[in-house]
Amino acid sequence: MALGKVIIVAGTPGTGKTTVARAISEKCGLRIINLSELAMEKGYITAYDESRSTYIIDEDRLVNDILNLAKSSEEHVLVQTHYPEIIPRDIVDRVFILRTHPLILEKRLLERGWSRRKINENVMAEILGVVASNAVNAFGSELIYEIDTSSTKPEDVAELICLAVNGLVKLEPGVKIDWLTMLSPEEVFKFEDYLGSEE
């Protein structure tokens, strides 16, 4: 089995994974796998968490499918997910983490009509850099590339990722974005109540 063939596009919900992945598939023809959609399609669901309005996924079966896809593919496969850490490191080529300024992310999630609780939970995860930090723990900083999607166009983010994947642009690895340093305490506290009641 050839190793290092999975390119991951990760990020908090709303940071732009699906939008960017679609543009990447048009621009550089990579096959795109959406981990959550694959789990739903295959019925890899073990339970539904009512309080968080999310499905609990059977990770073992999902990872097994990704391993088989990577093994059988000649080309890079692009996996989009907000839980990249479940993918075995030895099949991962690199991980692009999409980041979005928390106040812009809040606007995007409000447009989706999400509950205040779900918005706060996800914006707080972005403030704390949960996806980025999990990715660093799982893969090491040297495989991680952050891209800020707050004020760029999805096509430009896709272009940058295609260039980087094809070795035409060299990005600096590691996690550098810390939204906490760019927000006032009031702006942070606004999202603190993510265990409160649904609105």
Ligand X SMILES: Nc1ncnc2c1ncn2[C@@H]1O[C@H](COP(=O)(O)OP(=O)(O)OP(=O)(O)O)[C@@H](O)[C@H]1O
Q: What is the per-residue DSSP string for 37-48? A: HHHHHHT-EEEE
What are the φ/ψ torsions at residue 102 (nearest 5 degrees)?
A: -55, -35
Classify residue 13 by its DSSP letter.
T
The only residue of 44, 57, 78, 82 in contact with ligand X, by rule CB under 6 A: 82
**Interface of this chain with Mg ion, residues 12 to 71, rule: CB under 5 A:** 17-18
CA distance 55 to 42: 13
| Residue closer to ligand X, measured from CB, 3 or 45 | 45
Residue nearest to ligand X (CB): 16
Please report whether residue 141 would count as binding Mg ion according to CB under 5 A: no
Please report, as a single letter, which amino acid is at residue 198.
E
Residue 144 within binding range of ligand X, rule CB under 6 A:
no
Among 17, 94, 101, 117, binds ligand X (CB under 6 A): 17
Of 191, 185, 62, 71, nearest in space to 130 by CA: 191
CB of 50 to Mg ion, least distance (A): 22
For the chain, helix (H) and strand (E) counts, in that order, are 8, 7
Could you say which residues in the range 108-127 bind ligand X, by CB under 6 A? 108
User: Using the rule CB under 6 A, which residue among 131, 157, 160, 162 binds ligand X?
Assistant: 157
Q: Can residue 152 be called a binding residue for Mg ion (CB under 5 A)?
A: no
Question: Which of 4, 140, 154, 173 forms a contact with ligand X (CB under 6 A)?
Answer: 154
Of 6, 7, 8, 13, the residue at the interface with ligand X (CB under 6 A) is 13
Task: Transcribe 80-107 into DSSP letters.
Answer: EES-GGGS-GGGEEEEEEEE--HHHHHH
